Chain A
Amino acid sequence: MKKTTALWLALGLAGYVLLPWYETDAGLLDPAVLAAYIRGEVPSGLAQMLFHGRWWLAAPLIGFAGSLAVLLVVKAQRQAAIGLVTFTAAGLALSAMQGLLIIPSGARLLSFPGTEVGQGSMGIGALLTFCGLLFTLTTGISGLGKGRGDAFVCGLIGAIVASVGVFVFYPVLHVLLRAFELRDKTGYGFGEFLPRLLSADIWGAKCLVFAGPCGSGTNSLILALMTGLGTTVLGLAFALIFTRTNFRAKGLLRVLTIIPIITPPFVIGLALILLFGRSGTVTNLLADVFELERTRWLYGFWGVYLAQVLSFTPIAFLVLIGVVEGVSPSMEEASQTLDADRWQTFRYVSLPLMRPGLANAFLLGFIESLADFGNPLVLGGNFNVLSTEIYFAIVGAVADPARAAILSIALLFLTLGVFLIQRRWVGKKSYTTVTGKADSGRHAALNPGLRAACYALALPWAAFTAVVYSMIAFGSLVKLWGYDHTFTLAHYARAFAIDIGHGLRFTGSAWDSFFTTLGIAAISAPLTALIGLATAYLLVRQRFFGKAAFEFSTMLSFAIPGTVIGVAYVMAFNFPPIELTGTAIILVIVFIFRNMPVGVRGGIAAMSQLDKSLDEASTMLGANSFTTARRVLAPLLGPAILAAVTYSFVRSITSVSAVIFLVSARHNMATSFIVGRVENGDFGVAIAYSAVLILTMLAAILTLQFTIGQRRLRRTNRLEAA
């Protein structure tokens, strides 16, 4: 324990004594910054405290000095651990407090004498100091534990709790705080909060009686209910066809499951505009043949609804394949041997067994619809939903952060509510009967009536999906959709032109954002996989005090819509103590914490399949948990790691809701670039860019499938008898 502690203390002290405490304009390796650093113009925390009148930066010193004294003086292990924990916890708490309370213009909530100098955002020195103190603390805690105390596990828990705390809960708390701000900006109070949260502006329901527009909250709810229902019914039809019939083109149905992963969320909306917009193909056709009036019906509830059902049916399908396959064939065979016919078997045995899965699929569609930002942005028109209202409250003509905060909280309540229902009610009532035992037998075929109904529902929809997607290909290749259908590559040229006349130069307008997107996605993907899998490892493999709370808080962060996260980041990270807006770092961070669920879910699934006795065997053979994770778990989780990396890469590319708040002129992302094109009516480039993105991601996914396919082949025969 002592060696580890000394190491972390040394790291923290180095940060505190040597490196600049405050954020510098550019990285430390930037020549200008480096020169200033050498001249002593960007002092360390210790120097700031001693020579620049910032006495409050003595806070970390309490932790360091106390811990060093404990290390040198106290011999008994338990006493030393108690001492370390006390001093580092005090140091951390005080350091965090000074950061929150003392900001540039003096104190915010409380004021102290001598703090008029103020301070800027924390920088690299502060980061290292905090890390050093944090991990000294966790090492100390591991020393407290009886027998099973494990510095690696404690450190991992500390790292994840701290990062989720700082990058999920801290920003969300900021939103909460802003929501309590009084209208005249004089302070905070409860008086205005409830009336504003429950105002008719948000929850008005006039549209239900055709007496005017509804509030955005009501709109979101109605839309989510309808989308949830629609996607569940369609998803079930597809799943039944896929698992219970001998439909020939099942391979094509499989394609349906990959589509939503690689489709940026507004692309469906774009394609629908090409079909049903004022000058869309179908609109033109109907106008020419039946002389129907060209209307803007697509821009409103029905357009968004259509786009969402198209976007999220594949997700319901994916969930329901598992559910339908999870119904044990032997149950259905039992029912049939008891003389039930196929319809009765489906009605009284299979369907009730699927009920929790169906509820789950519904809630998923519901949440996705609530959180969806791209489609309402592109197709919403005057139909306001919470996510777009939040966006306009921040970037609109009249920026109103307090209103954005209130709307965010309304949206958060809805998604968290559904999330809690899902966990409490559906999560515990899973009847799926996958036991790991070979369950032979065949699923009962559908009865003819039901099969016909499924076909009638699903096949036209599949065809429609195909048409919508082909729009993306065609739309990017004509001059001006609906008016001038001559073939052209001009859109691609404008976006992705390369000049090789004077050396290689990327002159297209899209290259900047394209490279930024790929770069940031490539940096954040492995980090996401790492933190996701580490979380999964703790959840599946370790027992520790407060695990239930840990699990709940990591899961909770899954339920926060991207728009809310975006707003929260803007509100929290625009000022000291942590000022990140406008940097590329904030984009990386937002991707890590938005996509963490992918890594966690993948990791949990993969790790649950590895017998726990493998870990125990490694422990019994004298390996500590870090060695076990490195030499036993990591190699066996290879495919899961690869999958987590790829999916978080792809999700970073398609993400729009949170990103759109955080991009800057220097760091623009593909999706926000495209949304900008759409807002300018520049559909050609937008669609061409979308097509390029889809192809990029398809390449990533196929590479993954190929690599994993290869690995799995090798591993199954290894694992078979083991």
Chain B
Amino acid sequence: MTNTLPKGSVRFDRVAKRYGNVTALKELSLEIEPGTLVTLLGPSGCGKTTTLRLIAGLESASEGSIFIGGQDVTHLSATYRKVSMVFQSYALFPHMTVLENVAYGLTVKRMRKAEAKQRAEMGLELVGLKGFGNRLPSELSGGQQQRVAVARAIVLEPEVLLLDEPLSNLDAKLRRHVREEIRQIQQRLGLTAVYVTHDQEEAMAVSDRIIVMRNAEIAQEGSPHDLYERPASAFIADFIGDANLVDVEVTAASSSGAEIALCGRKLTLPSAAAPTGPAKLVLRPHQIKLDRMPGQSTFPAEITYAAYLGNQIQYTLQGELGSLFAVAPPIAGAPQVGSSVFVSFEPTEARLVSA
């Protein structure tokens, strides 16, 4: 079962979902390439879980069509879709052993017991839990339960694997480890996977592509790099990695960048593009430089709060550019609360988004 898994694409054609008067999903169209891991990312209530459950068949669409592997499955119930899911709570059956859990999907499809057992054992081996088959789920740690849930989903050789916030019940240290494992299994088997999370760092770490959702529709989609480097809106800029958003006026725009007026000073941003008029300047916390002396294009500010985190110091600044959030290495002689500093940034790194 290593390289022979069927790889399914997923396509939504103007799919809408309403519960009475509440719209959970406005006409959504999306395309997921076979063999990729795509993350649905967004704040709670944005429609990402609804989208996942629509792919699963646990919800039925109010409008539009859903295709899996080219087949129209809009009216097909979850039982008959070739899709498996890893639940947030894992949903391991507490009265069955680990092996029975993994073999469950095979036995309900009337596979012979011996064969189902053998396949289930291979599945367990794949997630590194060989020999744990006779235990009860409650006798495993959280991370192991998680892996059982993954094994249970993939032994069915689904066209699409769905993961609903699979890491949210694990503690922070374990999360990074498990997400690496999930990503490795997905890549090794070439699975098509759809992953739901509200944690942008997790999304960046595992995804081929991220679909950011907001208010029941897609806000922006692209690779992690795209989303970070070329946010299409202030929401994306702020949601993917922290960002300070500063009001600016674009005075001139050309293919070689934009010219802005910032606190009475003119700056040219070579890699930013925006139409003339009001806009927002995106400044990542690590892009902000703090100096004791004024220089060219520096802006005075005062440090109102500083938090020492060991590997860095987080500052809150108040000044000409408004309230800013910045980080700096914890070197000796780093500026203290109350001290005046001069803020600057590299114009080539700065981006603009529409106001």
Q: Mark B48-74, 1 if CB is under 8 A from A, else 0.
A: 000000001110100000000000001
Interchain CB contact under 8 A, B94 and A621: no
- Considering the chains assembled together, what is the distance between the CA atoms of A719 and B91 in angstroms? 11
The distance from the CB of B120 to the nearest CB of chain A, in whole angstroms, is 12
Interchain CB contact under 8 A, A148 and B77: yes
A residues less than 8 Å from B104 (CB atoms): 618, 621, 623, 631
Stretch in A12-20, A368-376, A609-617 with 4+ CB within 8 Å of B: A609-617
B residues less than 8 Å from A148 (CB atoms): 60, 77
The distance from the CB of A144 to the nearest CB of chain B, in whole angstroms, is 12
B residues less than 8 Å from A617 (CB atoms): 85, 87, 91-93, 152
Interchain CB contact under 8 A, A621 and B108: yes
- Considering the chains assembled together, what is the distance between the CA atoms of A146 and B60 in angstroms? 8
Interchain CB contact under 8 A, A721 and B145: yes
The distance from the CB of A128 to the nearest CB of chain B, in whole angstroms, is 30
Say yes or no: A613-B140 contact (C-beta < 8 A), given A620-B56, A621-B104, A627-B108: no
Say yes or no: is B136 at the interface (Cβ < 8 Å to chain A). Answer: yes
- Considering the chains assembled together, what is the distance between the CA atoms of A721 and B78 in angstroms? 27
Say yes or no: is A622 at the interface (Cβ < 8 Å to chain B). Answer: yes
Interchain CB contact under 8 A, A721 and B87: no
Checking A146, A619, A622, A636 against B94 with a beta-carbon cut-off of 8 angstroms, the contacting residue is A636
Nearest A residue to B100 via CB reads A631
Q: Which of A622, A718, A722 has the most CB of B within 10 A?
A: A622
Nearest A residue to B152 via CB reads A621
Nearest A residue to B95 via CB reads A635
User: Using a Cβ cutoff of 8 Å, how many contacts connect chains A and B?
Assistant: 98
Interchain CB contact under 8 A, A621 and B84: yes
A residues less than 8 Å from B142 (CB atoms): 721
Say yes or no: is B89 at the interface (Cβ < 8 Å to chain A). Answer: yes
The distance from the CB of A138 to the nearest CB of chain B, in whole angstroms, is 16
- Considering the chains assembled together, what is the distance between the CA atoms of A618 and B95 in angstroms? 13
The distance from the CB of A464 to the nearest CB of chain B, in whole angstroms, is 46
Interchain CB contact under 8 A, A621 and B156: yes
Interchain CB contact under 8 A, A613 and B88: yes
State the main secondary structure of chain A at its contact with B: helix
A residues less than 8 Å from B89 (CB atoms): 611, 613
A residues less than 8 Å from B74 (CB atoms): 147
Nearest A residue to B102 via CB reads A621
Say yes or no: is B137 at the interface (Cβ < 8 Å to chain A). Answer: yes
Say yes or no: A620-B58 contact (C-beta < 8 A), given A717-B138, A718-B136, A722-B145: yes
Say yes or no: is A547 at the interface (Cβ < 8 Å to chain B). Answer: no
Nearest B residue to A625 via CB reads B79
Say yes or no: is B173 at the interface (Cβ < 8 Å to chain A). Answer: no
Interchain CB contact under 8 A, B83 and A722: no
- Considering the chains assembled together, what is the distance between the CA atoms of A611 and B90 in angstroms? 10
Say yes or no: is B105 at the interface (Cβ < 8 Å to chain A). Answer: yes
The distance from the CB of B238 to the nearest CB of chain A, in whole angstroms, is 31
The distance from the CB of B33 to the nearest CB of chain A, in whole angstroms, is 22
Say yes or no: is B109 at the interface (Cβ < 8 Å to chain A). Answer: yes
Q: Mark A684-722, 1 if CB is under 8 A from B, else 0.
A: 000000000000000000000000000000010111111
Nearest A residue to B60 via CB reads A147
Checking A150, A719, A720 against B77 with a beta-carbon cut-off of 8 angstroms, the contacting residue is A150
Interchain CB contact under 8 A, A620 and B77: no
The distance from the CB of A387 to the nearest CB of chain B, in whole angstroms, is 43
Say yes or no: is A488 at the interface (Cβ < 8 Å to chain B). Answer: no
Q: Please give the residue numbers on chain A whose beta carbons come within 8 Å of chain B beta carbons, in ascending order.
A: 146-150, 611, 613-614, 616-624, 627, 631-632, 635-636, 715, 717-722
28 A/B residue pairs, CB under 8 Å, sorted by A? A146-B75, A147-B57, A149-B77, A150-B77, A611-B89, A613-B87, A614-B93, A616-B58, A616-B87, A617-B91, A617-B152, A618-B108, A619-B58, A619-B79, A620-B58, A620-B153, A621-B104, A622-B105, A623-B79, A631-B104, A631-B108, A636-B93, A715-B94, A718-B95, A718-B136, A719-B94, A721-B138, A722-B90
